[in-house]
Structure 1
């Protein structure tokens, strides 16, 4: 039986206490009793206030925090920031612990697991053959981006991973008392190292720095866990068929990346950076293959005196550069040396750094990963055919899967650029060859006609030795480099180009023409790159189906679609739509956009693949992935889906290898269920759709009225949040704003959401809902609330929206937010805007609880409730100190120590909230 809720959380509480005690010892030893005693006093006072909510306790806490000197404030901030990081480690380990407990106890399959997904699909009437066919055509891709909300440095993450390993060892191994003491001593040493490691980056990150960070997740998780994911999946499938079955599932789950290819608003992504990106990616994966081949060589010491080998294996052995007399009767080892030599030659051919382990002799490089995989299959087949099938499993099986998954390129890199840049590039190209003097001023129909003609023409329009602008030259160079990379690697290495701010058919055709000029698209209609429009704002989402309808009616473009398997990818931007129209309207317009796109794609007989640009926090489309995928309208997930993984969400999902495997499994399970089960789900009631239109309209009006219609709101935002100070953190290579203005329209969605999270208002994740519900119930007094409750209980989309809002509101703290509001010097403006926010918050909480039929927030989420209970005594003081430091820093006392304190507080609050940006 599963222990009671309190019992099962005991190991978590013990781990938090252990880490807290060791951190306390470190602080006491390193900084002295005064700092330690102050940390303890703040902790105890904060816990007492949160437990009893006494006004006098709050005043006592605030007075204590306000009395801190800048020097002492920095030490307190470090203490509480590190505690938040350590609490994250303990929670992650507890999650792994619970997964293992259920596996050991052989508990019924849990929702979002592979076993449960297959079980649910079978219960719906599907055969196991239907499930295998699903995987045959599926494509699922978590795509890592460099969007800057991860405030941790790699140096601290490395130490934290070792702490996680030590906690894991303490639980898994039956140590003696002296061994336990030594492990705890090692834990304390790691915590001391953390304490003496700078939490903050001291210089701005470059794109290559972002790339290095991104590549670490392959070492942490993907290289080991993706092959393991497929092994578990195939085992689940084969158990359903026959214990002796040997069904092989294709590599449908692929890791993507934007790092090194995302140029939208980032002038530092150049042709040279793209080239360096692939050199580093190839170096990592090829060196991984070399390591695995080296280990296989140690393992497969089989002698022909005892076993036989296939003719194909013997040929590989004979062609090996290994001439050692000691291995003349060991054909597997000799064959593996030959493979090793060819992989090493491949690495050197790709102009990468030297191989980590030197080859024996010379060899020709592999032309492509399929050649390497074919050689590995020769070894595998020989083992299987000579009664050594068990040896073909394990490392060899995983290496075969790795080569199939990662190729020689590691991850597919998406290219992305704003449509305005593509338009300016085409304008210059046309002007240089006298095709159009003012292309961008042409009517849309004339643009489409001209672009369509040139797409079918074999005549080049790039003039050699012509002096184009710096921007156009850079664009042409990067696509030329992309073409070379595709020739060196393959289509899968660089297969997607995304058009940000797509607002017309010509925006898409412009990119197609640029690709044609660089050989990626041919005049006869072949394309080696998916051209993906990105629809971001509310208006763009409303227009997207019309644009795609007209695009599919353009013969020159449809030829490109057909050349790519008759599948068109469309990206939907959650972040900017939310900043533009608020949470409710953003979610609803995205849902309606998907429904309308599905209809258009069916009309033209084109397969749809949606790419969801979701951030970490709810305000940027975040939330649990499983529920989000299942909440998509029927037909939106047709076996194919791509989802961005951004900022701190990448580290929270994929730093811990066990959690990484679990998250990959969740994506695959949800996609299977959403594809097959949605076909049997009833369509939403017309009354639900009408209700959402009403709610969205009023929420939009309320949100826009505050953010874009309230005089002085821009001043309020810049004064009451840490938006200015966030810009001083070296957490990304892109600027915070698209233009050098203070306008909300020009601000990127990430710092917008990040700022509201820091001041504990989380406004982008809920504002406008309360007024919308009030207005709807007022218009429908008899059954309005009952209808909303029915929608919540029976419509996954609406349930997901409200569950995410429940989470966001639980992390909102108006008392703390009021202290940030006090930073606004204009009292009248402060009271007006903060008063409006407070009133909307009250309406929203009341409406949410009534619809969900709860008496408190998070009534149905005990895990998050527990997490908040553990964290808030440590997060709240960080907010109070941050406010005090902001006051000092902005009052013409802009000293470096105070700024360091503010930056540390940002780090600690982000760590405590986890999904902050």
Structure 2
């Protein structure tokens, strides 16, 4: 540990000591001594590679009673959570230390991005043009890998705030004692809070969980970030002055709108999700306006007010004699009354604490923004600019960013569903159409014919199937939402498993049914977004879009979308389909070709990256991932999913959340304005990458899809069956009622491999690919080329960096204990032997290419993190294996099942990006 890391060590020791005291107080000395003995053995093994300590650790764990097993699982799970909190606070501490010391801006910061842009010779006009047309949107999904309950997250936030207080303030002895006592209470509350959900989450539960991040972070920190960006630009160039940026950074959501494989997302659920989002937005505005009115106690005896402000004050009809000379308060009283009326109009009920003052509701959020603008301009004009830069500034930005809908919800459905619905509608309207029997060109012709008329296809007098009726209800609910909240509330309709032009035209027909596509006006009120997911679909994506753009009716519709077409790329299913290396390469190639196709048609490409939290699902540091995109792929606009436990890791802590949002802005700025400086990959690099991908694809497919018994091995050697029983989401683990790998969703697939510490989707096939490549190209020349690719090509370097992280978190020795759960010894040895050999080959190849002596030598922060947490993670794996063995041998009482689920939570917390 260097000196700068001492505070982290002290925080971990403090929290660990408090947790130990809690275990002793709650469960007794005997249990505490068992937990402490396990901790010491594990630390000794990890620190000193002491094999005797490992044997003692395993013997102690194997001898635990059921009750002791659960206690150990809880203790080490909570320690992982506490270590995460300490690490997050240390990141904040180090960032503040850099700023206080006046250090050079760090990569990923806005200051660093602006410095790089200005150093490249770009001017204020270039920056202004970027922000004018930019769109950056992290999108929260409901994908079920967030294993922690909101109650647990709330406890974590309290502990983080208390640690932050210790770090930032010079506490008196009494204050320090009070802080420590509060920390002990918080740790005790965490210990006594149920870790597991006792019922399965509903979609609306997921909506509420998602909304909590707006309370924690987004509503306050996004306006704060905008203000920082504006102030940084003004500091760089005085010409910016008081210029306000467009609201280019918005947080989106899939929660309540993602129907793909989730039968519980209905029209009623969508409408309730929208209502709950609006409730959060409006209640925030009401509270902020109320507080602002208490602060702007400006008297006309001392300050002037604009005519527009005085008119606003008169309109408020505020008859209080105590405010008769306070026009700003009067105006805000009127704003509050109109907001309350808006709440009633949109939600059908009164807000808490609403007065009886009659007022007209705002027709839209823009009208509210206009009133706040009047107050803002009056303050500026009359010598009160400092007051305009405080709470009012942040409120004005919040209204422009969140509107009355809070966050745009994407609607997503599988292309197969749209095909069946359209086929049923056509058959009812035109018997004998036999839509599904038509080839692709026949379908396109028929769909274009349907899109050329404003005549509805559906009839209220035809009894449709439940599926069709449900889909039509969703589209009509979307249209009502557009009228109620504006089209920004539901701006994207996504088609999963897109493999042809007809998939997009089928959605267009359904949008026409609801009036969201208006053929007579050639207008489209939402984006139609194809999602290309499998390796084959990614390869066909450029040709699919080329064919689509050649259709004149569709091209005319794009004019109403500012000639912008969004395309979503799926990292998860492409990885499950073809493996880590091939998935990344096919995504990269698809982007290059899509850029070419779009340029040829004069259209703007907006890419939506469907990345998961783990490397096996496209995860990894966002900054490097955005900069590693091929030239021309960002174009100032990017959307990317934030999934599962990564949402909490990034956005539960407000300060960490703001820094993560800043990273997205900085990376997009650099990738857009400096992309011309990055040369296209050399032909030799592309050729080598294709060869590696081909070899890796064959190795991956041979194991996962072509090895007899692999499906059985997977289900027996991982916790997939137990994960399917966890109440962590409303969506089933598989698309169908089968155990086939093809039907399994990518999330539980990756999550399961993470739990057993193999992380197979994040690396398998690379070692075999490098060996085959070197055999073809020659050992010396081939390795020299791969090393050059790593030095000079950001895409390849990022792939290897992510693989480095995954391999460092894997542990073959622990994975071997999970392999022992496979009953067929021959199958176990055949498959695990291949996995072990490939793991060794991959580590060796990675180290040789990167020039590292050990994994993560190039990432000391993560290496430190792993060193800190793994002694507390290893016991959880051993406990989990033992409980799985007992459970599957028939000892299926509730304590064992609960213990398995607790260990799943703890391991996920320790790994941080497991699904």
Whether TM-score is above 0.5 comes out as yes
Task: Give CA-to-partner distance per residue, 1:102-152, whole Å, 9 cap, x none.
Answer: 111111111111111011111112112211110110000000001011110
Q: Is the 8 A contact 1:497 1:531 kept in 2?
A: yes
Give me the whole-angstrom Cα distance separating, in 2, the residues matched to 1:168 and 1:515: 50
1:870 equivalenced with 2:896 (yes/no)? no
Alpha-carbon distance, 1:178 to partner: 2.0
Q: Which residue of 1 aligns with 2:42?
A: 46
Q: Which residue of 1 aligns with 2:527?
A: 530
Q: Which residue of 2 aligns with 1:821?
A: 819
Q: Which residue of 1 aligns with 2:439?
A: 443
Alpha-carbon distance, 1:321 to partner: 3.2
The SS at the match of 1:727 is helix
The SS at the match of 1:319 is helix
Q: Which residue of 1 aligns with 2:768?
A: 771
Q: Which residue of 1 aligns with 2:908?
A: 910
Give me the whole-angstrom Cα distance separating, in 1, the residues matched to 2:391 and 2:494: 37
Aligned length: 913
1:786 maps to which of 765, 770, 784:
784
Give me the whole-angstrom Cα distance separating, in 2, the residues matched to 1:774 and 1:171: 50
Q: Which residue of 2 aligns with 1:480?
A: 476
1:280 equivalenced with 2:276 (yes/no)? yes
What are the within-5 Å matches in structure 2 for residues 95-174 of structure 1? Answer: 95-174=91-170
1:716 equivalenced with 2:713 (yes/no)? yes
Q: Which residue of 2 aligns with 1:491?
A: 487
Task: Give CA-to-partner distance per residue, 1:882-916, whole Å, 9 cap, x none.
Answer: 00000110012211110000000000000000001
Q: Is the 8 A contact 1:149 1:731 kept in 2?
A: yes
RMSD: 0.9
Q: Is the 8 A contact 1:143 1:645 kept in 2?
A: yes
1:59 maps to which of 45, 55, 62:
55
1:464 equivalenced with 2:464 (yes/no)? no
What are the within-5 Å matches in structure 2 for residues 48-447 of structure 1? Answer: 48-242=44-238, 245-434=241-430, 436-447=432-443
Alpha-carbon distance, 1:51 to partner: 2.1
Task: Give CA-to-partner distance per residue, 1:267-307, whole Å, 9 cap, x none.
Answer: 00000001001110111100100001000110011111111
Which region of structure 1 is more displaced relative to structure 2, 559-568 or 611-620? 559-568
1:693 equivalenced with 2:694 (yes/no)? no
Alpha-carbon distance, 1:456 to partner: 1.0
1:797 equivalenced with 2:795 (yes/no)? yes
Q: Is the 8 A contact 1:149 1:750 kept in 2?
A: yes
Q: Is the 8 A contact 1:234 1:247 kept in 2?
A: yes
Q: Is the 8 A contact 1:345 1:363 kept in 2?
A: yes
2:681 maps to which of 679, 684, 702:
684
Give me the whole-angstrom Cα distance separating, in 2, the residues matched to 1:440 and 1:338: 58
Alpha-carbon distance, 1:441 to partner: 1.2
Q: Is the 8 A contact 1:290 1:357 kept in 2?
A: no
Alpha-carbon distance, 1:436 to partner: 4.5
Give me the whole-angstrom Cα distance separating, in 1, the residues matched to 2:92 and 2:250: 23
Give me the whole-angstrom Cα distance separating, in 1, the residues matched to 2:768 and 2:348: 59
Q: Which residue of 2 aligns with 1:852?
A: 850
Give me the whole-angstrom Cα distance separating, in 1, the residues matched to 2:273 and 2:344: 16
The SS at the match of 2:523 is coil
Task: Give CA-to-partner distance per residue, 1:572-611, whole Å, 9 cap, x none.
Answer: 0000000000000000000000011111111111100000
Q: Which residue of 2 aligns with 1:881?
A: 879
Alpha-carbon distance, 1:52 to partner: 2.5
Give me the whole-angstrom Cα distance separating, in 1, the residues matched to 2:691 and 2:352: 62
Q: Is the 8 A contact 1:237 1:247 kept in 2?
A: no
Give me the whole-angstrom Cα distance separating, in 2, the residues matched to 1:874 and 1:852: 29
Alpha-carbon distance, 1:247 to partner: 2.1
Q: Is the 8 A contact 1:293 1:336 kept in 2?
A: yes
The SS at the match of 1:9 is helix
Alpha-carbon distance, 1:564 to partner: 0.5
Alpha-carbon distance, 1:57 to partner: 2.3
Q: Which residue of 1 aligns with 2:553?
A: 556
Alpha-carbon distance, 1:245 to partner: 1.6
Give me the whole-angstrom Cα distance separating, in 2, the residues matched to 1:679 and 1:447: 41
Q: Which runs of 4+ in 1 moved over 3 A?
A: none
Q: Which runs of 5+ in 2 are unaligned?
A: none
1:748 maps to which of 737, 745, 768:
745
Which region of structure 1 is more displaced relative to structure 2, 676-685 or 848-857? 676-685
The SS at the match of 1:350 is helix
Give me the whole-angstrom Cα distance separating, in 2, the residues matched to 1:211 and 1:612: 22
Give me the whole-angstrom Cα distance separating, in 2, the residues matched to 1:121 and 1:222: 27
Give me the whole-angstrom Cα distance separating, in 2, the residues matched to 1:53 and 1:679: 48
Give me the whole-angstrom Cα distance separating, in 1, the residues matched to 2:305 and 2:509: 54
Q: Which residue of 1 aligns with 2:837?
A: 839
TM-score, normalization by structure 1: 0.99
